[in-house]
Chain A
Amino acid sequence: MEIQEKVIKIVSEATKVDASNIKAETNFIDDLNLDSLDMVEMMMKMEEEFGVEIPEDKTEDLKTINDVTSFLKSAN
């Protein structure tokens, strides 16, 4: 599975938003109404799924699906 596809799947499962409505440019806060706690939980799921550690100062920059996908690609 492509990284982006996997990211969308995780986000979809956590938010109960249908995967077809989540795109690369989808913004977690503006489009999915996630709050700060939702964001922490989401990043934990990414860490667990992809076996990476997302530094706390980095999480603030990850605002869209694309941001996360790019970060994960660079981290691998």
Chain B
Amino acid sequence: MGAMCGLGNNLNDVWNNAINGVSGISKIENIDPNMWPVQIAGVVKNFEISDDLLDPKEKSRFDTFIHYALHCTDEALKQSGLLEAGYDPYMIGSILGTGLGGFPFIEQAHKIYLDKGPRRVSPFFVPSFIPNMATGKISMKWNFRGINHAVSSACASAAHAIGAAASEIMLGRQDAVITGGSEAVVSGLTIAGFNAMKALSKNNDSPETASRPFDKDRNGFVMGEGCGILILENLEKAKARGATILAEVVGFGSTADAYHITSPHPEGEGTIPCMLHAIKQAGIKPSDIDYINAHGTSTPTGDIAETNAIKAAFKEHAYKLSISSTKSMTGHLLGAAGGIESVFCIKAITEGIIPPTINLDEPSEGCDLDYTPNKAVKKEINYVLNNSFGFGGTNSTTIFKKYKGD
């Protein structure tokens, strides 16, 4: 696995900060406050991609989400030993989620187009921003010649990518797939857009406490950026090569609300079946789930709708299982959320620790489940469930199982 976000630029830093309840949200530096109604985000700090992963002359030719994807894929590959597995290159694919791709570069190029005219638009503009260039560059760097594409379903992108990657392996079409998601769109125009929807918290003076899922004072999500990468592999092949198997993907659910462009269905008619479909595919009962990494974005309507959906899907077990929203620390990584949150789910399994929901000082009315407030909890975990929901009314649930060997 590989991960980076406002909590750190590698998996260990991200995880250690997460279980210590550190906030990765900070003031966005070097911006014109008049142009940025919201001035806080979970931005990546002190990062420059290594020359080995991206040639110095190429660095300015690819938008940041591509840098993050290469960096985290490199980390995941080193951990997995996949490069030494001897698989046919055509049997290794990459499917990554991104909600907006290289939107900041589109914004910059459009300014050049308006200010200087069409002849000044770079020939590298289109390859710099297209959503599938992250997997494209991964294929070129490591010679992975199998399936290669991007999944874009807003804030559910990475989760859908993981579902698609698991399907490829289950169908026997790929031996291994690099998956997860990458997003880096903290830019003036995206912030203005989300702000116009009243979706963002404007707690500019208190960045660390702005993202507060399920808390009574929550007032919108905080944008984050970063990347979470998993390497999915055919179980039998992974066992045969002696790979360190971290967990199994056992269930995937995907539904549409068919209700509203941005608001969740108030009765959870999309999200409840989504969770139950995943549980059914996993061949388990709702009561087998030990931990839910919630979508929990810290918006007034979203958190209560998800809470109600969990109650409807899990009945009395909803009050026994552990829930947390790591977005309280990372901010909302949009199309990469399901990637980094799947990393948290798997670390929760392997370490037996549930990362907390920070800033949960007083639960909002109706939010009466165990959200693991403010402090990580040690717990033996066999099954975790990750929810990712996106604008357009798209929902995705992934279930991971502890790997216990034969």
Contacts and interface: CB of A to CB of B under 8 A. Distances in A.
Contacts of A16: 55-57
- List the 9 closest pairs (A to B, CB-CB), nearest first: A40-B123, A37-B123, A16-B57, A16-B56, A41-B123, A41-B122, A15-B57, A37-B124, A41-B124
B120 interface: yes
Contacts of B127: 37
Given A14-B57, A16-B56, A16-B57, A44 B120 contact: yes
A37 B119 CA distance: 14
The range of chain B's interface size is: under 10
Contacts of B56: 16
Nearest to B58: A16
Nearest to B59: A16
Contacts of B55: 16
Interface of B: 55-57, 119-120, 122-124, 127
20 contacts: A14-B57, A15-B57, A16-B55, A16-B56, A16-B57, A36-B123, A37-B123, A37-B124, A37-B127, A40-B123, A41-B122, A41-B123, A41-B124, A44-B119, A44-B120, A44-B122, A44-B123, A47-B119, A48-B120, A53-B119
Classify the interface of chain A: helix, strand, loop or mixed.
helix
The range of chain A's interface size is: 10 to 19
Contacts of A37: 123-124, 127
Among B120, B122, B123, B127, the most chain A Cβ lie within 10 Å of the Cβ of B123
Contacts of A36: 123
Contacts of B122: 41, 44
Contacts of B119: 44, 47, 53
A24 B120 CA distance: 26
A48 B120 CA distance: 9
A44 B122 CA distance: 8
A59 to B, nearest CB: 12
A38 to B, nearest CB: 8
A41 B57 CA distance: 12
B404 to A, nearest CB: 50
Interface in A2-34: 14-16
Contacts of B57: 14-16
B153 to A, nearest CB: 30
A44 B120 CA distance: 7
A56 to B, nearest CB: 10
Contacts of A41: 122-124
A37 B123 CA distance: 6
